[in-house]
Chain A
Amino acid sequence: DAGVTQSPTHLIKTRGQQVTLRCSPISGHKSVSWYQQVLGQGPQFIFQYYEKEERGRGNFPDRFSARQFPNYSSELNVNALLLGDSALYLCASSQGQGGYTFGSGTRLTVV
């Protein structure tokens, strides 16, 4: 069974640019969540989507947005990148309110 897949695995962007990260959930999973993880800290919740609707939003600025497609895959968009946006971005999926299965993440470096 394929797990949660994220692309790209690594990305380098310049300050002010925009980035789109992609996530494919496990087949049958309708819920997708996005997290930001910086070194030494736990994952910080950004968004949760369920059945293509936003169900939860963390304390991130409006530069962060996401959407979920009819096939339950998801994209995370970050506009006007700042150096502080450099982090590992994690996607996780679940069938409902159960525990999440995480992907390996996208390492974003902003220079």
Chain B
Amino acid sequence: AQSVSQHNHHVILSEAASLELGCNYSYGGTVNLFWYVQYPGQHLQLLLKYFSGDPLVKGIKGFEAEFIKSKFSFNLRKPSVQWSDTAEYFCAVTNAGKSTFGDGTTLTVKP
């Protein structure tokens, strides 16, 4: 069974700090990869997605993620976080119609 592991449960950063959230998945075949964000009081929103091609994908609000196939990883990055990035972030993997989410990383950005 495929699984998704997000290494950090809670990350606290100051504004302008750089962000990297780890995501590893277990499935060895072809997968589609996603990062979702859930702002306080809002529903899940798609940040970015990877299907194939350039392993560095850019999403909304200055986020990007790099797919490293050899490491089964899809880490999320942002060069300079803002207070408004405070949210919960979920990594997800989809294969053959089945989606698996990680347990999420809560990001708190201090102003």
A residues near B (Cβ < 8 Å) are: 33, 35, 40-45, 48, 50, 55-59, 90, 92, 97-105
Assess the A102–B45 pair: CB atoms within 8 A.
yes
A sample of 19 cross-chain residue pairs with beta-carbon separation below 8 angstroms, ordered by A number, consists of A35-B99, A41-B103, A42-B4, A42-B90, A42-B101, A42-B102, A42-B104, A44-B101, A45-B101, A48-B98, A58-B98, A90-B44, A99-B36, A99-B46, A99-B49, A100-B99, A102-B44, A104-B43, A105-B43
Residues of A within 8 A of B32 (CB): 97
**B43 contact from A48, A50, A99, A102, Cβ within 8 A:** A102
**Contact yes or no, B102 A97, CB < 8 A:** no
Closest beta carbon of chain A to B5's beta carbon, Å: 11
Convert B67-111 into 0s and 1s, putting 1 for each residue whose CB lies closer than 8 angstroms to a CB of A.
000000000000000000000001010101111111110000000
Contact of B99 among A48, A50, A98 (CB under 8 A): A48
Least distance between A45 CB and chain B CB atoms (Å): 5
If A41-B104, A90-B44 are given as contacts, then 10 extra A-B residue pairs at C-beta distance below 8 Å, sorted by A number, are: A35-B101, A40-B103, A42-B103, A42-B104, A43-B44, A44-B101, A48-B99, A55-B97, A56-B98, A102-B45
B34 at the interface (CB under 8 A from A): yes
**CB contact under 8 A between A101 and B46, given known A42-B90, A43-B90:** yes
Residues of chain B within 8 A (CB-CB) of A97 are 32, 51, 94
Chain A residues contacting B51 (CB-CB under 8 Å) are 97
Closest chain-A Cβ to B63's Cβ sits at a distance in Å of 13
Q: Which B residues fall within an 8 A CB radius of A?
A: 1, 4, 32, 34, 36, 43-46, 49, 51, 90, 92, 94, 96-104
Are A103 and B43 also in contact (CB < 8 A) when A42-B90, A42-B104 are? yes
What's the Cα separation between A57 and B51 when bound, in Å? 21
Residue of B nearest to A45 (CB): B99
Tell me the minimal C-beta distance from A86 to chain B in angstroms. 18
